Structure 1
Amino acid sequence: MTEHGFFHHDIGYWQTNSAPGPEILASYPDGTVEVPLCPGQGWNWSGSEWIQSGPSHADVPTSVSRFQARAALHLAGLLDDAEAAVAAADRLTQLAWTDARDFRRDSPTIAALAIVLGLDDQAIDDLFRQAATITA
């Protein structure tokens, strides 16, 4: 498998585990471009290269538990929409949603849900920050 990176100015960065087919590429929003893989958390796409950002993203958790993620979505009024998006998604996304113990901020599942839910990077970061404060 070869990973591929993509970027959209309103949505941010996501990556796939293999080359997306024409049908998947056509579903990406206008303005999406293929980019080199992101070096890691705290890097921003400048339009031509990855630039390491300052410490502003340092407080965003790299992962949260499945419960914390779902609770944060519930509190934001997005859980029903997220579950509907997962139900319409590919099987791998459905398996990740139901079986993952933790959700990583940089995961393809999170990136795919962000697109469907219309959430930008800041909104996802805020949800991860909120989720990290929730305990069962």
Structure 2
Amino acid sequence: MECGFFHPEIGYWQTTDEPSAQIRADYPEGTVEVPMPPGPDCLWDGKAWVPDPKSRDEQRAMALLRIDEVHAGFLRSLTGNATVEERDTWQPKVVGAKFVRSANDAKIEAEIARLNADHPDALHDLATLVDDVGEDLAAIRALADTVLRLSLEYKRLIGKASGLKRRAKETVTRATNETVPVEQVRPALEALFVQLSTEVDAAVAQWRGQTDA
């Protein structure tokens, strides 16, 4: 049976078998038997195992890196993990949608005719809509409205993501300030990430509600 021991100067060690009384007698004075640690990142505080309090700078660096990861995950969720090639079609769709919204039916039909004739000056951005729904004007206008609505919402949420990232990093800076007792740093950072996760989940749910509409 494994046994754990601790000495103030030597630190913690454990044996693979229970040591005999003779072996225990050879341990340095001040050695005490302690429970096995619950995990690798723990320290014996003289009474119990406690989480290893990483330095203020370490906790700050780890929290800032985690915020960047949360922000990147937020953006991936907004794009539905779209490929670069897929995202490259979004801006032409917006341009085509703006043309549709500003043009009358005759102008749209004329532009479609130019596309079909491979006219060099045709508005190829319009083709990104026609390719999706065909040449029916009502369908084209409906798609254009959807594209513009989602474009505005996407830009709003991109701004929200940037704001969440900025505020979270400001909170980390305050929570890891030298004036804050080090034992209060970890709880403050944990609370931050709970709140950040809640806000990100709500924003992603709102976006999915828009795209499913």
Q: Same fold (TM over 0.5)?
A: no
Query: Over alpha carbons, which structure has the higher Rg?
Result: 2
Relative CO higher for 1 or 2, CA cutoff 8 Å, sep ≥ 6? Answer: 1
* TM-score (normalizing by structure 1): 0.38
Q: Which structure carries more strand by proportion? A: 1
Q: Which structure carries more helix by proportion? A: 2
* TM-score (normalizing by structure 2): 0.25
